[in-house]
Structure 1
Amino acid sequence: MKAVILAAGLGTRLRPYTHVLPKPLLPLGDRPILEILIAQLVHYGYDDIIVTTSYLSHVMETYFPMIERKYASAKFTLVKQEKLMGTAGGLSSLPGLGDEPFLVMNADVLTTMDYGALMQHHLQHDGVLTIGTYRKQVKIHLGVLDLDDTGNVIGYREKPEEHFMISMGVYIYSPEVLTYVPPDDYLDLPDLTAQLLADGQIVTTFHFDGYWLDIGRMEDFETAQHIFDENRRQFLPGEA
């Protein structure tokens, strides 16, 4: 199975660390975030992995020979993008994606997801795109008013908690989706999804109830370090 890891971002919210290292190479314990993802993918049967890079690409190029030696059962391709392409842009120009569904994921997530189960779900349903989803609880730190059509208050909730179904940044693409992706233009996944839906294509979801964290902010990075240290075997099932 094929997988694409999107590792080209700038990681501006994790500066000053990302002045020195690209965000996917920031360590959780003794493992860079990227290596944790690669170990998981290989464990779940992905043996052809493409990693896109741009910012500090020379650091990634120096690091990658170790990955190739350590996970020798898999084929790795490092693709440098000359400009940032978004979460969907540039996929159609990547080499060797072939004519089978493939996984695409952000390089800054920490999760216990079974990526093999995600692929099986996609193959068993009719969608051209499957989005991994997670139920997120968000605390609103203000009083929220409920109004009727005339503007009268019909409810007042003080600092409520809302629940949203969010994207995990992990997807399965059927190859026909690539016809919607221009090779050299910026494109984000929400815009691609809108194009697919407007064209009558089916986009499905795979709901996940395990652990998931987007490592986007400094506090998220600190949380990820603690959670990985406390639950290492869950995140590296192949090494349990």
Structure 2
Amino acid sequence: MHAIILAGGKGVRLRPYTTRLPKPLVPIGDEFSILDIILTQLSQRGFEQVTLAIGYLGHLIRSYVGDGSRWGLEIDYANEEHPLGTMGPVLQILDRLPEDFLVMNGDVLTDLDYAELLDGHRAAGTPLTVATYARQVKIDFGVLTTRERRVVKFAEKPTIDYRVSMGVYGLSKRALTGYEPGTPLGFDELVLDLLAREEPPGEYAFDGYWLDIGRPDDYDRANAEFDEIKPLLLKGA
């Protein structure tokens, strides 16, 4: 099984922590970086090969990770000379990948079973499978629906339920057919193109632990919770 970890971003929202470190290398707890946790999880779930898509401060990631033998993995690298979006880095290495593979952001803390997601993607036969997570937003106002200057519906302080992408995907090569390597390709663009082609992505609904470390508040929360969530994230480590 092959996984691609997207680790090339500048981590602007997480500054000042990312001024001197790429986001995947910021420490969580006293022992681990985010990337260390992800690589350990992939190894525990049977993945053998990992490609790290690097850009900003990528030499630090190379120096830290090396060939991956510390985790029992074979690790290679794809360099982003300029920002390519979520799926753009994958286009550059498509000929090195198996038919089905995992793509994930390098700033995700979750106990999702990556192998189960990839197995489900293969079984479903969809070009793309998106891991999703439930979110709720409480609206602190009365919400009006209007039509032709009349109120046709009212809800007092409703709660809106929706699902978000976790930044973890099962992907098949055929989903990327026709795109030019070296050009930017975002997750949003790929999803819209697949919908237009009537090849809708599949969903892998997940309700375990998930935290996208995109902002200082998220990072502080991850460190505050780490002693509690470590057994979930690193079973047996």
**TM-score per shorter chain, which class?**
over 0.9
Kindly report which structure 2 residues correspond to 1:144-163, keeping only aligned pairs within 5 A, or say none: 144-153=142-151, 154-158=153-157, 160-163=158-161
SS at match of 2:88: coil
Q: How does 1:46-57 map to 2 (within 5 A)?
A: 46-57=47-58
Q: Give the alignment's TM-score, normalised by structure 1.
A: 0.92
Matched, 1:187 2:188: no
User: What residue in structure 1 maps to residue 120 of structure 2?
Assistant: 121
Q: What do residues 123-159 of structure 1 show as CA deviations (whole Å, max 9, x unaligned)?
A: 211211100011111233x41422242333331423x
Greater alpha carbon shift after TM alignment, 228-237 vs 47-56: 228-237
Structure 2: runs of 5+ lacking an equivalent: none
Report the CA distance shift for 1:64/1:99 in structure 2 as closer, same or farther (over 3 A).
Answer: closer
When the two chains are superposed, the root-mean-square deviation of aligned CA atoms in Å is 1.6
1:137, 1:42 → 2: CA distance?
Answer: 33
Asked if 1:212 corresponds to 2:213, the answer is no
Which whole-Å CA distance do the structure 1 matches of 2:94 and 2:87 have between them? 15
Quick check: 1:106–1:169 contact (8 Å CA) kept in 2?
Answer: yes
Q: CA deviation at 1:16?
A: 1.2
Q: Distance in 2 between matches of 1:207 and 1:214?
A: 16
Is the CA contact (8 Å cut-off) linking 1:126 and 1:202 kept in structure 2?
A: no
Aligned to 1:68: 68
Match of 1:25 in 2: 25
Contact 1:88 1:181 in 2 (8 A): no
Q: Secondary structure at the match of 2:56?
A: coil
1:47-89 deviation line (CA, Å, top 9, x unaligned):
1000111111121122123x72411x31101222111110111
Relative to the length of structure 2, the TM-score reads 0.93
Alpha-carbon distance in structure 1 between the residues aligned to 2:97 and 2:108: 26
Q: Aligned to 1:171, which of 161, 169, 172? A: 169
Return 5+ residue gaps in structure 1 as ranges. Answer: none
Residues in 2 aligned to 1:114 and 1:238: alpha-carbon distance in whole angstroms: 15
CA shift, 1:184, in A, is: 1.0
1:33-52 residue pairs with structure 2 within 5 A?
Answer: 33-52=34-53
1:231 maps to what in 2? 229
Question: How far does the alpha carbon of each residue in 1:87-135 deviate from its partner, in whole angstroms, 9 at most, with x for none?
Answer: 1113121165434200000111111101111011112112111000111
Structure 1: which amino acid aligns with 2:213? I
Task: Assess if the C-alpha contact under 8 Å between 1:84 and 1:186 holds in 2.
Answer: yes
Q: What amino acid is aligned across from residue 186 of structure 1 in structure 2? A: P
Q: Secondary structure at the match of 1:221?
A: helix
**In the alignment, what sits opposite 2:137?**
138
Report how many residues are paired.
Answer: 235
